[in-house]
Amino acid sequence: MEHRGVTVWFTGLSGSGKSTIARALEARLREMGTKLEVLDGDIVRTNLTKGLGFSKEDRDENIRRIGFVSHLLTRNGVIVLVSAISPYRAVRDEVRDRIDDFVEVFAHAPLEVCEERDVKGLYKKARSGEIANFTGISDPYEEPLNPEVVCETHKSTVDECVDQILSKLEEKGYLPAGVLA
């Protein structure tokens, strides 16, 4: 399938559904035969950004590095799915400015819902003080002001969110018309 390169950047709290939606979108895009790469925040941290901590400076550097790789892939015609909390608006906007073809997806769920979904027990540890600088608890999460797509993951199914994103990619010309037909 012919398509344009684009970075689809999923942002949201831990447990909001970023990776789940990204994996489902990946499956649909692979079925279509697209050139695709997935950069999941957890996987990137164990490889590309190993050694960075969770201070604001380290988090910003983590996002800049992911953004750099995304930029290289996007300009070479690859659809890049990035799933990273990326809590600070300014560095997300910096990455957006670097990558001309950029679609921000806000995986939105209330904090209480994210805590209920937390299979790793990270929120519980953060609330008890075992984890410092935890986004949404002891560190801020700055919601995007104008994301191209908002997935209300506590109200919508994963498939509905994927369709919403595919529609936006088609509307913006990254995918040919009729992909959802």
Rounded CA-CA distance 177/167 in Å is: 9
Alpha-carbon separation of residue 83 from 30, 127, 181 (angstroms)? 17, 24, 27
Active-site positions read 86
> Beta partners for 79?
6, 36
Exposed / middle / buried, residue 7 (Cβ in 10 Å: 0-12, 13-18, 19+): buried
127 vs 125: CA distance, rounded Å? 5
